[in-house]
Structures are given as structure tokens and as C-alpha cells.
Amino acid sequence: VIVVLSGGVGAARLLRALRYVVAPSDVTAIVNVGDDLELHGLTICPDLDTITYTLAGLNNEELGWGLTGETWRVMDELTALGGASWFRLGDKDLATHLFRTQRLRDGATKSAVTAEITARLGILETLLPVTNDHLATRFRTEIGELSFQEYFVQHHHDTVVEEILFEGASTCQAAPGVLAALRSAERIVIAPSNPLISVAPLLQVPGVREILVERRAHVIAVSPIVAGNALKGPADRLLRELGYDSSALGVAAYYANFVGTMIIDDADAALAPEIRAHDMDVRVTTTVMAERDNASRLAKEVVA
């Protein structure tokens, strides 16, 4: 069984690529919930939904989030009423948030609701939110403290970050199945997600980092930085702002205590010797999954 520590888009693409090489029922994704938010009385889980929609073949490839064939009539009415419209919820996407919110109100856990939604959409991979407790990524910035989505969407991740905070980290518990999956996995994969804001919240959950450290030889990470740049989002900028090298080497240094193997892009092949100096194995391949051939080649490297 393969466990994938997952953020949003990069993880969703890797999980989809893994279908070329392993049975989906042998794959478990442990998913970040630090981006989750409450808005209009609804509980919204962007990373869980991005992965769910991608694996169901329903994701909006243009936007990178939300559903394909989306319409925005509710948002238009909400905007006319003067409601919060900076975080856009499509008409179809809203059904997911309505369903989840009602089920949570009925007393179901986030894990249970996730299992219900993925089963309904015919997804055979197991998706586990890392915790069912409150865990929220927040930012101390030059303009004050911001929630994840205020920083990411409202401010277009274009304000200087001084510190990243994980509210609830000390009191949350891993969701059912999370620690057991990490203990028993043949391979633990860290998806090409933002190390500081997508992977770091997972590591905050008591038990997760400890198991990774113990099982370092089985942990493989795909660099989300290629030739110094993030494929998507602010990973490169955040690494620099928080004092890390914005490169596959910087990611390797950040992961060195709990990752035994790094997969880096062909463009970064020259960094391999310095990464090996962190006592890591290095595999070099095309990590950009835009084309089918590249995605399946990367998936093969991940499970090799």
C-alpha cells in the first residue's frame, strides 16, 4: 500500500498519475485540512475537494480548483446582495459544501463525510483528512495576521509572510486510520505540494512526523520546485521569505530528517550531489505532469 501525504493540485495530479502503475484501492491519501474555512455558514475543504474532483475526472483544469462546467449564478446574486464574494463558490461546487456542512451538523466526522463523497463519486483510493479536529494554517504578515484563504485568495499571496502558524496543532489528534496507514505503508510519498503550507500542517499532527522519521528509508518526496520556481502558488516566494533556499535543494534540506529519497526534475540534475550530501537518495526525472507520458514516468519512479 502506498500512502501519499497530500496538499491540493500537485497531490491530485500525482494521485491521478499513480493509477498508471498501481491499483487505486492500494493508495491512501492523507490530506491537508489547514486550508479549510467556514464561509456563509459552510465548511469548505479545498484540498480534499481538489483531490476528490480530480480523481473523479470532474476538476476544473482551467481554474485549478472547483468543478468543470461550473456556473456562478449564486455568486452573482450574493455579490448583488453585498455578500462576501472574494472566495468564489460555483453553483455545482456549492452542493459539496452544503452536503458536507449538513453531515457535520448531523454529527458525522470530516473523515466519514469524505468517505461518503468519494464513494458516491466512484473513487477507489482512500482519502483521509489528516485530522478531524481544528487545524488551521495562518500567516503573520507585514499587514497583520491572516487566515489561509485571506492570504492566498483575498491578498493573492502577495504580501510578505513573517511566520506561518498552525492553530490547533498542539491539541489536534490524527484522524482514524492516519497513523496506522503511515506505519504499515510499503512506501510513503510526499506529493509535490508546498512544503511550508501544504505538507507542514500534516507534520504538525502528533505522531505523523515521528513515524516519518522512524520510517525515513521508506519515505520519498517529489520536489514541487523546478529550476527555482514553484509550478503553482507561492512555494518559491515563501521559501525565500522564511529563510530557505528556493530550490529542490532547499526542499531537500527542509525534508532531510524524514525523507530518504528525493525525486527532482531533469532541470535540477546538477543539484543531485548536494542533495545526496543530506544522506538522501536522488532520482532525476520529469516531474512536470502536464503530459500523460511524463505523469506515468513520474509515477513509475515514485513506486520503483
Say whether residue 66 binds ligand FO1 (CB under 6 A). Answer: yes
Between residues 8 and 250, which has the closer beta carbon with respect to ligand FO1? 8
Stretch that binds ligand FO1, among 12-20, 146-154, 205-213, 223-231 (CB under 6 A): 146-154
Considering the complex, what minimum distance in angstroms separates the CB of residue 127 from ligand FO1? 14
59 binds ligand FO1 (CB under 6 A): no
Minimum CB separation from ligand FO1 for residue 302, in Å?
Answer: 21
Residue 123 or 185: the one with the smaller Cβ distance to ligand FO1 is 123
* CA-CA-CA-CA torsion sign (85, 89, 94, 99): negative
> Which residue type sits at 14?
L
What SS3 class is residue 220?
strand
Name the β-bridge partners of 127: 29
Looking at the chain, the number of H-run helices and the number of E-run strands are 13, 14
Cα–Cα distance between 55 and 291 in angstroms, integer?
A: 16
Comparing CB distances to ligand FO1, the nearer of 34 and 260 is 34
Asked whether the beta carbons of 263 and 298 are under 8 A apart, the reply is yes
Q: Does 87 bind ligand FO1 (CB under 6 A)?
A: yes
Choice between 31 and 275, CB closer to ligand FO1: 31
Residues 88 and 60 sit within 8 Å (Cβ to Cβ): no
Please tell me whether residue 146 binds ligand FO1 under the rule CB under 6 A: no
Of residues 4, 27, 33, 89, which one binds ligand FO1 by CB under 6 A? 89
Q: Where are the alpha helices (DSSP H) in the chain?
A: 9-18, 46-55, 73-80, 91-105, 110-120, 148-149, 178-184, 200-204, 208-214, 235-241, 248-255, 272-276, 292-303
Helix (H, G, I), strand (E, B) or coil at 236: helix
HEC states along 90-135?
A: CHHHHHHHHHHHHHHHCCCCHHHHHHHHHHHCCCCCEEEECECCCC
Applying the rule CB under 6 A, the residues between 5 and 44 that interact with ligand FO1 are: 7-8, 35, 44
Pick 121 or 303: Cβ nearer ligand FO1: 121
* Residue 22 · residue 2 · CB < 8 Å: yes
Binding flag, residue 236, ligand FO1 (CB under 6 A): no
Nearer to ligand FO1, 199 or 259 (CB): 199
Q: Which of 16, 30, 31, 47 binds ligand FO1 (CB under 6 A)?
A: 47
What is the smallest separation between the CB atom of 139 and ligand FO1, expressed in angstroms?
13
235 or 249: CB nearest ligand FO1: 235
How many binding residues for ligand FO1 (CB under 6 A)?
16
Q: What contacts 74, CB < 8 A, 6 or more positions away?
A: 89, 91, 94
| Nearer to ligand FO1 among residue 56 and residue 153 (C-beta) | 153
| Among 2, 65, 126, 185, interactor with ligand FO1 by CB under 6 A | 65
**139 lies in the binding site for ligand FO1 (CB under 6 A):** no
Residues found near ligand FO1 in the complex (CB under 6 A): 7-8, 35, 44, 46-47, 49, 65-66, 87-89, 93, 149, 152-153
